[in-house]
Structure 1
Amino acid sequence: MSTVIEQPVEARLVAAAPRMPSIPAKLHYDRSDPFAVRMTFPAPATLEGVEVCWTFARDLLAAGLHEPEGHGDVRVRPYGYERTVLEFHAPEGTAVVHVRSHEIRRFLDATSALVPVGLEHLQLDMDHDLAELIRDAC
Structure 2
Amino acid sequence: MRLSRIVLSVAGFLYALLGFLFLFAPVTMGRWILLSVPSAAAATEIRAFYGGLEVGLGAFLLYCGNRPATVIVGLVAMTLCTGGILLGRLTGIFLDGSPEKMTLVSMIVELFTTVTGILLLMDE
Tell me if TM exceeds 0.5: no
Provide TM-score, normalisation by structure 2. Answer: 0.36
Tell me which structure has the larger Cα radius of gyration: 1
Provide TM-score, normalisation by structure 1. Answer: 0.33
Higher RCO (CA < 8 A, seq sep 6+): 2
**Bigger strand fraction:** 1
